[in-house]
């Protein structure tokens, strides 16, 4: 395992830093606490949100003009044709500068764009990709349903052909950003008479279409970042179907593979390690300042355990990076990292609240460290569910790393509408 940049990687890092220094100010490395909790924050007003999007769009366009908007996208679609590792280097360096947060474009750039590149027609690529690259559209992912999350192939939202259009009915849930998105990637069931993986079709849906109702879900943290999306007789032109009728599962797998590989940006594997590192740092700062009394041996042992687990995470992350540098793709290390980061952060947040004594129960502006740890404690379960739950990560580790027998699949080969269920049959 090599911890240092290769000469080529060092050159890219230098280029990235030159670009960033030209457009933004470098952050104070001691102020890492700032912005750490943004993913769990309460939503601001519409006006504040619109300012955030305007700033994000300007920054996205500056990156696009310099060829840094979508590092891994092929050059023919406006990308840089770079590797995953180059993308990680860009994200690592970008995180050190004061630049607008472009996470509203994450699902477009990370999921919709790559899926359209692989499965889209030339007309679809020309229509959608440049707008995604420049942050002109905001995309959401309409996959999960009340009875289809881990088992996504069990989805029931139906699409029925009517002339040159499809008529869609059903409900999606947990759709991040659907309330401010203007496009969505949608998987539907078009044939319930064949086994579940074979009867699905994938669409690009205009979120302003009549019949789409988006209802934000209030979270325990106070924010409302994700939604329920109800679709009643929504008409989608056949021109917005991605790939063949019945091939939706293969298209969805392209999206899901990109979701897993979405390291480097947002809450990716390295972002997660970074968060744990920040937490250790904050704990240390408050302790040194005498604001937290962590003198008893039991507490010291726990902090030492967090620190050593953080180091193990960093080394696993480095092993993954090293593999990527040699041309590999992220493997089971990704599952071990995601599982460990979520568990570790939850434990640390609970510990940080515990050592505050009665103050640990406060969540408003009177709370210690502005309630950072309390917010974190409430928000972490989302991390342990999104992108594959803890249990699903354990299944992956068990089957692919430890060679344990795979799960029984009682619905294999059975037509979807003959699988026993308590839910409505599509
Ligand atoms: C922050 C966040 C953002 C999200 N954003 C989006 C989005 O933008 N678009 C979208 O479509 N979805 C989104 N989701 C939904 C997410 O993909 C699902 O929540 C996730 O796939 C789990 O599905 P579920 O909630 O239906 O739980 P279920 O799959 O019903 O699982 C319930 C419980 O059963 C366990 N379980 C299920 N299957 C197995 C198994 N085979 N073996 C062992 N245990 C199992 C699970 O681990 C879990 O504990 C988001 C979720 C979160 C938390």
Same domain, 197 and 275: no
pTM for the model stands at 0.90
96: domain CATH number? 1.10.540.10
What integer pLDDT is reported at residue 34 of this predicted model? 47
Domain assignment of residue 164, given as a range? 139-247
Q: Is residue 239 part of a domain?
A: yes
> Higher model confidence: residue 379 or residue 283?
379
Pocket test for ligand 1, best of 41, 223, 227, 385 (most atoms within 8 A of CB): 385
Q: Is residue 115 part of a domain?
A: yes
Instruction: Please indicate whether residue 255, judged by its CB atom, sits closer than 6 Å to ligand 1.
Output: no
- Dihedral, CA of residue 85, residue 90, residue 91 and residue 92, to nearest 10: 90
Phi first, then psi: what are they for 32, rounded to 5°? -70, -20
Q: Is residue 421 part of a domain?
A: no
Q: Is residue 425 part of a domain?
A: no
Task: Kindly state the helix (H) or strand (E) to which residue 101 belongs, with its residue range.
Answer: none
Which residues face 230 on adjacent strands? 171, 213
Same domain, 152 and 202: yes
Same domain, 241 and 347: no
Q: Binning pLDDT at 50, 70 and 90, where does residue 261 land?
A: low
- pLDDT tens sequence across 319-352: 777 777 777 666 787 788 888 888 988 898 888 8
Instruction: Please indicate whether residue 150, judged by its CB atom, sits closer than 6 Å to ligand 1.
Output: yes
Measured in Å, residue 388 CA sits from the centre of ligand 1 at 6
Q: Which residues are CB-neighbours of 171 under 8 A, at least 6 positions away?
A: 145, 146, 157, 228, 229, 230, 231
Q: In 268-296, where does DSSP find H-type helix?
A: 269-288
What integer pLDDT is reported at residue 337 of this predicted model? 83
Instruction: Please indicate whether residue 147, judged by its CB atom, sits closer than 6 Å to ligand 1.
Output: no
* Minimal-distance CA residue to ligand 1 atom 1: 382
Q: Answer whether residue 95 shows pLDDT above 70.
A: yes
Mean pLDDT of the chain: 86
- pLDDT tens sequence across 352-380: 888 777 888 888 778 877 787 888 889 88
Instruction: Please indicate whether residue 141, judged by its CB atom, sits closer than 6 Å to ligand 1.
Output: yes
Residue 107 Cα: closest atom of ligand 1: 8
Give the percent of the chain with pLDDT over 70.
86
> Higher model confidence: residue 111 or residue 358?
111
Same domain, 275 and 375: yes
Same domain, 360 and 305: yes
Q: Is residue 91 part of a domain?
A: yes
- pLDDT tens sequence across 126-171: 999 999 999 999 999 999 999 999 999 999 999 999 999 999 999 9
Q: Is residue 297 part of a domain?
A: yes
Q: Binning pLDDT at 50, 70 and 90, where does residue 262 land?
A: low
Catalytic residues: 259
* Domain count for the chain: 3
Distance, in Å, from the CA atom of 139 to the CA atom of 109, rounded to the nearest integer, reads 9
Find, among 264, 258, 260, 262, the residue nearest to 89 by Cα: 264
Find, among 207, 254, 234, the residue nearest to 111 by Cα: 254
Instruction: Please indicate whether residue 74, judged by its CB atom, sits closer than 6 Å to ligand 1.
Output: no
> Higher model confidence: residue 204 or residue 407?
204
Q: Answer whether residue 37 shows pLDDT above 70.
A: no
Instruction: Please indicate whether residue 112, judged by its CB atom, sits closer than 6 Å to ligand 1.
Output: no
Q: Binning pLDDT at 50, 70 and 90, where does residue 271 land?
A: low
Within its chain, how far is the Cα of 201 from the centroid? 23
275: domain CATH number? 1.20.140.10
- Cβ–Cβ < 8 Å for 291, 359: no
Q: Answer whether residue 269 shows pLDDT above 70.
A: no
Residue 141 Cα: closest atom of ligand 1: 9
Give the percent of the chain with pLDDT over 90.
52
What integer pLDDT is reported at residue 158 of this predicted model? 98
* Minimal-distance CA residue to ligand 1 atom 27: 149
Measured in Å, residue 146 CA sits from the centre of ligand 1 at 10
> Higher model confidence: residue 88 or residue 202?
202
What integer pLDDT is reported at residue 267 of this predicted model? 41
- Cβ–Cβ < 8 Å for 310, 344: yes
Q: Which residue has the tokens 């300012």?
A: 51
């Amino acid at each position: 395992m090599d911890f240092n940049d290769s000469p080529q990687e060092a050159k890219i890092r230098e280029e990235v830093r030159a670009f960033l220094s030209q457009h933004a100010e470098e952050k104070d490395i001691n102020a890492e606490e700032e912005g750490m909790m943004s993913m769990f924050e309460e939503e601001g007003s519409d006006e504040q949100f619109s300012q955030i999007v305007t700033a994000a769009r300007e920054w996205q366009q500056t990156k696009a003009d310099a060829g840094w908007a979508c590092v891994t996208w092929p050059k023919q679609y406006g990308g840089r044709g770079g590797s995953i590792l180059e993308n990680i280097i860009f994200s690592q360096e970008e995180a050190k500068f004061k630049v607008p947060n472009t996470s509203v474009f994450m699902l477009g750039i990370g999921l919709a764009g790559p899926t359209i590149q692989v499965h889209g027609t030339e007309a679809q690529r020309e229509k959608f990709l440049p707008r995604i690259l420049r942050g002109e559209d905001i995309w959401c992912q309409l996959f999960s349903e009340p009875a289809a999350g881990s088992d996504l192939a069990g989805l029931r939202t139906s699409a029925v052909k009517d002339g040159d259009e499809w008529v869609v009915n059903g409900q999606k849930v947990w759709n991040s950003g659907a309330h401010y998105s203007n496009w969505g990637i949608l998987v539907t069931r078009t044939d319930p008479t064949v086994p579940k993986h074979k009867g699905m079709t994938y669409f690009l849906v205009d979120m302003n279409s009549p019949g789409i109702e988006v209802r934000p879900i209030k979270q325990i943290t106070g924010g409302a970042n994700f939604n329920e999306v109800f679709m009643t007789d929504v008409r989608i032109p056949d021109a917005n179907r991605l790939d063949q009728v019945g091939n939706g599962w293969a298209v969805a797998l392209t999206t899901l593979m990109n979701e897993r590989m979405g390291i480097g940006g947002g809450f990716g594997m390295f972002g997660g390690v970074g968060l744990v590192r920040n937490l250790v740092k904050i704990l240390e700062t408050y302790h040194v300042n005498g604001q937290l009394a962590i003198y008893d041996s039991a507490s010291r042992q726990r902090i030492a355990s967090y620190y050593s687990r953080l180091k193990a995470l960093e080394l696993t992350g480095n092993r993954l990076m090293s593999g990527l540098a040699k041309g590999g793709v992220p493997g089971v290390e990704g599952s071990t990292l995601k599982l460990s980061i979520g568990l570790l952060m939850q434990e640390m947040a609970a510990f940080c609240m515990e050592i505050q004594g009665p103050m640990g129960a406060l969540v408003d502006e009177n709370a210690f460290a502005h309630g950072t740890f309390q917010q974190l404690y409430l928000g972490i379960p989302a991390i342990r569910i999104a992108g594959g739950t803890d249990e699903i990560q354990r299944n992956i580790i068990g089957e692919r790393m430890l060679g344990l027998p795979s799960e029984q699949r009682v619905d294999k080969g059975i037509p979807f509408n003959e699988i026993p269920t308590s839910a409505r049959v599509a």
